[in-house]
Homo-oligomer: A and B are copies of this chain.
C-alpha cells in the first residue's frame, strides 16, 4: 500500500474516514436506543482524528491493538461497515462470526489484532507484535491504542521497559479523553504521562487529538522512524468522548457538565474543523462535503439493515474455535480424536 497519491486525496480520505466513524457510531447508538443491539457498546465519537490521523500513517501490514472503545480504530484500519455491524449484532457474517462482539472486534486481514475488554490488556500484544517484526526481520510497526485510564495498569510499564531495552518498533498511543468511566483523569493520574514514558528512555509527544493533520504529521514521522529502528515512542493525545462511557451512560451530570460537553462539540469537533479547513484551502466545497456525508450515512444505514436481516451463527458453532484445528472443542476435551 505504498503512498503515491497527492495530498488532496490524503486529506479527503482522512475526512471521509472520520465521517465514516461518526456515521458508524450514530447507527450503533441508534441500534442500542431502539433495543436492537445485544449488550452495551462504547462510542468513539469525538475521537475520530486520532484513529484516522494515526492509521492513515500505517500500511495494511502494520498492526494495531485496540480497546473496548474500538470501532474507530477498526474503521480507520480499513474495516467494512457490513461485517462490523454484523459483529455488533452477533451475526455469522461478522468479522468474528458474532463470537466477539463490539468489545472483541478484530480484523487481522487489515492488521487489527483486536479490541480488548481488559483495560490495558493489549499492551503486551502490541509490544509482542513489534517483537515479531524485529526478530523476523519484517518492517511493520505496531501501534497500541489505549485510554488515559489504562495508564494505571502496571502491564504498561513492564512492556515499555522491554520495548525500550530492545528498541522495538511499537508506538504507544494514549487517547486522553479526560475520563475513565465516571472518573476525571486528574483524580487517578499522578504526575505526568509523558514523563512516565520518558523515564524508560522513550521519546514522548503530547499532541492535540482533535487536529487530524497534527496527529497525522507526528504519526508519519514516528512510524517512519520506528521502521528504521528508532522506536519505541509514546504519544499522548488530548481528546474527548461525546457520548457516555457506554451507550447506556445517559445521565452524566454527576461527573461532567453539559457545558463542557457542548464546548468540545461546538468548538473543537475534529470533523467540522477539518471540513472548514478543507473548504478554506479550496480543497473541496461545502456541497461536496454534504454529498460525501449523505453517501456515507446511506452506506451505514444500508449496512445496518443488512446486518439486522443477516443470520445468526449456527448452534453447532458454539464449541467451534475453542482450539485451532478442532471442529468441536467439547468432544476434544474427552480425548476423542477429532
Contacts and interface: CB of A to CB of B under 8 A. Distances in A.
Contacts of A152: 158, 161
Copies in the complex: 2
A165 B190 contact: yes
Contacts of A155: 154
Interface string A184-203: 00011111100110111110
A165 B190 CA distance: 6
A250 B222 CA distance: 47
A242 interface: no
Interface residues of A, number: 24
Contact of A192 (B153, B160, B189, B199): B199
Contact of A198 (B153, B156, B164, B195): B195
Nearest to A192: B199
Contacts of A157: 154, 156-157, 196
Contacts of A153: 154, 158
A148 to B, nearest CB: 12
A190 B162 CA distance: 8
Interface of A, secondary structure class, is helix
Interface string A44-79: 000000000000000000000000000000000000
Interface in A183-242: 187-192, 195-196, 198-202
Interface string A147-177: 0000011111110110011000000000000
Contacts of A158: 152-154
Nearest to A197: B199
Nearest to A163: B190
Nearest to A159: B154
A176 B326 CA distance: 49
Contacts of A190: 160-161, 164-165, 200-202
Interface string A263-306: 00000000000000000000000000000000000000000000
A320 to B, nearest CB: 35
A114 to B, nearest CB: 21
Contacts of A188: 161, 165
A198 B157 CA distance: 14
Nearest to A167: B190
Contact of A199 (B154, B156, B187, B195): B195
Contact of A191 (B154, B156, B192, B198): B198
Nearest to A157: B157
Nearest to A187: B165
A152 B200 CA distance: 11
Interface of A: 152-158, 160-161, 164-165, 187-192, 195-196, 198-202
12 contacts: A153-B154, A154-B154, A164-B190, A190-B200, A191-B198, A191-B199, A192-B201, A195-B195, A196-B196, A196-B199, A196-B200, A198-B199
Given A152-B158, A156-B157, 19 more contacts: A153-B158, A154-B154, A154-B155, A154-B157, A154-B158, A161-B188, A165-B188, A165-B190, A190-B200, A190-B201, A191-B199, A191-B200, A191-B201, A192-B201, A195-B198, A195-B199, A196-B196, A198-B199, A199-B199
